[in-house]
């Protein structure tokens, strides 16, 4: 089978490379020439562990092109892997999806299966299928199938190659057979075959449940602080219950990234227009937004205002292992710090280049040492290993006043107690070994 993947972002590119790793010949298409040029040079436009190595290993099975006629010629299967960003009202923007649909209508020359890999609202697959079929007027057989992704940034390659489950939503045995053939060598994965609407819902329901879990534990963490309990002991006790599990129970300053924020808003919007409001999902959205500024609220205990205060920022990406800044808590916090006159120095091992496009005027440092030197306060927004393994004594030695506000609970309280610092985290007791 000749397979095309349209879109070379996280979903599209990882899908294409992993399909090639499983022995398929794949064409990767994108409208952005610069991205295709990078890919043809063996460089990934996104940071993802192991991706460039697999690109190199499978270079004989992958073609990267921005030539539309070349890309869509003689295809058996088309995977749609373009973005579906949120609109102002929370709904999913499907413009890129329909742009691919137009490309299909204008360029295909045979029967083919269209596979929706992008995250789209329930019912979208059928609408896109009808959109294509109405314009083709029976010229070629086109069917659509839903095949949502469940990769996590930072572990996307292994999440795809060793997926816990592969969901395929179809409305014909023909489409189901093609997808099962494509995924036959994914031995570690359970294939779940269902109808298209259910497949779309599985994606949203899964992501929104995890977002709910994160928001719930963050609220419990905030209550732990007020009542003198320790969130880590609480989550340990909770996580041992197999009905609950210990995943996504790490308290912090909220979720970010390309999935949870937009998927919670999209499902809430979809439910609302269908007169079925999801109050729990709406609560998760609100809790997460408030949680992102938790450290700013804590900082007011130590500085009435931030004008002229030297601020160190450690971690910019929304999570470790990626350079993605979408909905990263660092953005709203740095914006606040900047607007209130703070002198900001920032460090991140990967995301600085992307962050500098948003905040070109702040100072970026090559090391944690340089970032915290002479700082009056330090904010930790991402739990990078370099931060977790950092010598805590250096905060005391290098900072002008060692006030550390840790939004990711990077350090053990017993380790912090040894030093003359102020340390506040999420859901745990504060340590104040110096005067405010």
The catalytic site residues sit at: 259
Please tell me whether residue 135 adopts helix, strand or coil conformation: helix
Q: How many CB atoms lie within 10 A of CB 74?
A: 11
Residue 204 near residue 122 (C-beta atoms within 8 A): yes
Helix/strand/coil (H, E, C) string of 225-280? HHHCCCHHHHHHHHHCCCCCCCCCCCCCCCCCCCCHHHHHHHHHHHHHHCCCCCHH
Please tell me whether residue 88 adopts helix, strand or coil conformation: coil
State phi, psi for 63 to the nearest 5 degrees: -110, 130
Q: How many CB atoms lie within 10 A of CB 302?
A: 16
Closest CA to 347 of 381, 374, 324, 397: 381
Q: State both tokens at 421.
A: 């610092």
- Euclidean distance between CA atoms 250 and 233, whole angstroms: 11
- What Å distances lie between residue 206 and 179, 275, 281, CA to CA? 22, 21, 12
**DSSP string covering 192-224:** EEE-HHHHHHHHHHHHHHHHHHHHHHHHHHHHH
């Amino acid at each position: 089978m000749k397979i095309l993947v349209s879109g070379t972002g996280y979903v599209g590119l990882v899908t294409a490379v992993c399909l090639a790793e499983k022995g398929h010949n794949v064409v990767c298409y994108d409208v952005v020439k610069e991205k295709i040029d990078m890919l043809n040079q063996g460089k990934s436009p996104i940071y993802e562990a192991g991706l460039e190595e697999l690109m190199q290993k499978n270079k004989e099975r992958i073609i990267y092109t921005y030539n539309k006629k070349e890309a869509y010629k003689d295809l058996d299967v088309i995977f749609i892997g373009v973005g579906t960003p949120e609109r102002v009202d929370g709904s999913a923007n499907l413009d890129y999806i329909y742009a691919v649909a137009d490309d299909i209508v204008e360029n295909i020359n045979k029967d083919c299966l269209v596979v929706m890999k992008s995250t789209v609202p329930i019912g979208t697959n059928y609408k896109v299928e009808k959109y294509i079929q109405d314009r083709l007027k029976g010229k070629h057989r086109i069917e659509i199938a839903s095949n949502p992704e469940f990769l996590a940034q930072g572990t996307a390659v292994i999440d795809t190659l060793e997926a816990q489950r592969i969901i395929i939503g179809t409305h014909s045995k023909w489409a189901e057979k093609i997808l099962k053939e494509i995924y036959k060598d994914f031995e570690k994965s359970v294939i779940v075959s269902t109808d298209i609407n259910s497949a779309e819902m599985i994606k949203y329901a899964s992501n929104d449940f995890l977002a709910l879990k994160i928001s719930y534990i963050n609220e419990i963490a905030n209550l732990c602080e007020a009542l003198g309990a320790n969130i880590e002991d609480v989550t340990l006790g909770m996580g041992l219950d197999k009905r609950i599990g210990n995943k996504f129970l790490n308290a912090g300053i909220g979720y970010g990234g390309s999935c949870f924020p937009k998927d919670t808003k999209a499902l809430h919007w979809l439910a609302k227009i269908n007169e079925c409001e999801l109050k729990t999902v709406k609560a998760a959205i609100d809790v997460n937004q408030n949680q992102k500024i938790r450290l700013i609220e804590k900082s007011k205990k130590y500085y009435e205002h931030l004008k002229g205060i030297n601020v160190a920022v450690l971690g910019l990406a929304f999570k470790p292992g990626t350079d993605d800044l979408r909905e990263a808590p660092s953005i709203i916090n740095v914006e606040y710090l900047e607007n209130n006159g703070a002198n900001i120095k920032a460090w991140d091992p990967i995301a600085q280049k992307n962050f500098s496009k948003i905040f070109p005027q702040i100072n970026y440092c090559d090391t944690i040492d340089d970032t915290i030197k002479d700082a009056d306060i330090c904010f930790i927004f991402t739990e990078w290993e370099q931060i977790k393994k950092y010598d805590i004594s250096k905060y005391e030695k290098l900072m002008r006043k060692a006030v550390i506000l840790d939004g990711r609970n990077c350090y053990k309280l017993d380790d912090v107690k040894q030093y003359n610092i102020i340390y506040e985290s999420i859901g745990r007791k504060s340590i104040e070994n110096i005067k405010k």
